[in-house]
Chain A
Amino acid sequence: MTLLEVEDLLVTAGDRTITAGTTLTVAAGETVGIVGESGSGKSMTARAIVRLLPPGLSAKGRVVFRDKELLGLDERAMRSVRGSGITMMFQDPFTMLNPLLRSGDHIAESLDRGLSRSERRDEVVRRLDEVGIDAGEIAKRYPFQLSGGMRQRVGLAAALARDPELLIADEPSTALDVTTQAEILHLLARVQEDRGMGVVLITHDLRVAFSVCDRIYVLYAGSLLEVGDPGSMEQQPLHPYTLGLLLSEPAADRRQSELLAIEGSVPSADDVTGQCSFAPRCHWAAEVCRRADPPLVEVEPGRLSACVRIGDIRSEMLELRRSVAIDAAAIPLVDVVEEPLISVEQVSKTFRAGGREVEALRKVSMAFDRKESVGLVGESGSGKTTLGRCLVGLETPSAGSVTIDGIDASDYQALSSDDRARLRRTIQVVFQDPYSSLNPRHTVGRALGEALRVHDTRGASVDALLDQVGLSSAYAKRKPARLSGGERQRVAIARALAVKPRFLVCDEPVSALDVSVQAQILNLFKELRDELGIGYLFITHDLAVVRQIVDRAYVLYRGEVVEEGPVDALFNDPQHEYTKRLIASVPT
């Protein structure tokens, strides 16, 4: 039974287009996925369906829920549809719940007025139980007293409180750890089955969509490019974008010799009107693609594509897909040098926050050789970022020692300025967020120039640095605001390289980037390593990235090293419970 039918949904903000002509259907018991990167318009599409667009945005088209046209309804009528008909769960569990309301009350407030107090309490307990929460304690707690995963569960229970027929879940797992992600997706699937609900899952992660959805809609810059079932889409995508997306996602099951990246960056919907929105970046783009907005047509039963050239390029695409699928490279073994460049001995770090003590690191020991690529894998709270910061002097260990190139780096402040300067020339850092790791008021040239001047690096120039990271010298005059995420990260890397370090600590350097750009940067890292012979410490939670870039990895859990070893061994034959859980959580 079809629950929702959306046709030609157009979302605009004044004269700016957010999405153009989206079409989708959801039936009871079905999970439908909307996949897209940032700027694709997926969240706004969802909000348009439940009529909760932010002020300034409006929607046109047909949105029919169980034979009722939703776009024309007045607010009162819409209110009765929300909650018991359609309901939406938001992305960030940390802002989704009312901070001044107890978690149990989030559910209780949606329940029938007529219930008695004890009936209400029982109902709340029952529903919390449904989402895997052992009520008692939790119902009385305030959101800030719960973890991210718990909040997401409470949010889900609250969303289901009126037994809706259709649930829209906007990136329900993105803000969570990998292991929690898997749990939440599992929970969602179970709840859906029990209740026979329809679910619309919005995500940027293709792997997630493939693992739980019955049908996938691929959105790019506001246009629908492909529709199909996960199985065949994964084997043979019918649109260059989908193919590109698939290929730029690093594989978690083996190392690829080269990551295929889509050039350029994601445009806004307005920039690509009147043509195929992917044309500017498409390898196969031709005149016909730029002439008009391509319609979505059925290429095979159950599979739609908006690529006008699909007939011609199909076999080429399939060829490419297959070659990448079997591409597996061996992971090189590195000669181990006796004296490691960096050694971490029994390092502990305790933070004091609000009267409580948090042990971020517990007697952690590691060693890194020059020219090695080592991964530090863990989820939030594992202490991986803290360790990285300890290495570069942004944090000081509470106990233990850090030795870098023969110098005791346990306390940067206690060092002589010569020693400190030497350390800074040896080890540098690249941060996660490209948007805030560059000074917004300095031009690229100034930022790089400053880095060169600090340590009086000879034989290097701003242009040379830019060239090294694949940027033209024209970039020197620009300010960060005019650069895309990928370009900013390149500049950040260039800056770190300015002092000619021997080791780079990279803290989640690609997780803030769009998938299609991630691969570009990962490739850059590979190139630089080969060219310059520097070592890396790659700190990340993303196992696929680990597989592609590093040779050896440490697994961190709650401040302790639980396992360590060459990447292949780690992945194919994990020893520790936690490592096993981590690997099992990767969506397949």
Chain B
Amino acid sequence: MGNKLLLNSLKKYWVIAKITWMNGFTYITSFVMWRVRQIIQMIVALSLWESIFASTTTAFGYTSARMLTYIFAANIIGFIVTSSRTIGVSSIIHSGDLSLYLVKPLNFFLYWFSGDIADKLQNIAFSLTELTVLFFIFHPTLYIPTHIATLFLTLLAVSGATVMYFFINMMFGLLGFWTPDVWAPRFLFFTVIFFTSGSFFPLDIFPKIIVDILSYTPFPYMMFFPTKVLLEQLSSIEIVRGLLFTGAWATLCGLGAFTMWSRGIRTYEAEGR
């Protein structure tokens, strides 16, 4: 009986995912533009590395094949981890529409997470076509992982990264409780991610000391770490360490988000908005 009640109360999040999915298709132009931007970034990265490897067989310990595989894999993982609709959270707070959520028997975080899952699925579906096209243009020799365990471990790393990134985004959105301008800190964050998550170059082109310092930040665990796991370029110890760090950051960011939420609700003044 208890199980049925739980199932019933979770069903709503499935419906939320469904309606977000449906809604996504009504914004088809913006969505396509978003995809185009993603492809362009990939093209720049692939072109860059291709031209570098035209004059040298190895660079930073990578061969052309390995580097291009890295770029492909990192970007696929990137789509999964970073597609999100939580951009809307701060405007909901500012407009006062948050009230509409608060009066309903709804968990705010689960609501947005369900929406994000739908968004990620849409992005993955589209990116598969794009990646096939890019594959035919650049025809890199791709490295295929050899162990089943690799896929499982990658899944673990990607899930952890997804949850962590979700909470980080929520924290930025929840800043809306205290400031009308959320875009500035977000912009800084996106800029930093661009260079430290490993999307258009692997982080180990940096000198070792920088890589070590970065490993204590959440950034490498978004794309770089899961990709390295997939490409089977890490030792067992490194994998375990990375997964622990991912988990730790996901938990920390989760705590941060929940704290901001409860503090923010306390000061939420839905007056006249």
A and B held together in a complex: no
Q: Which residues of A are interface residues toward B (Cβ below 8 A)?
A: none
Q: Which residues of B are interface residues toward A (Cβ below 8 A)?
A: none
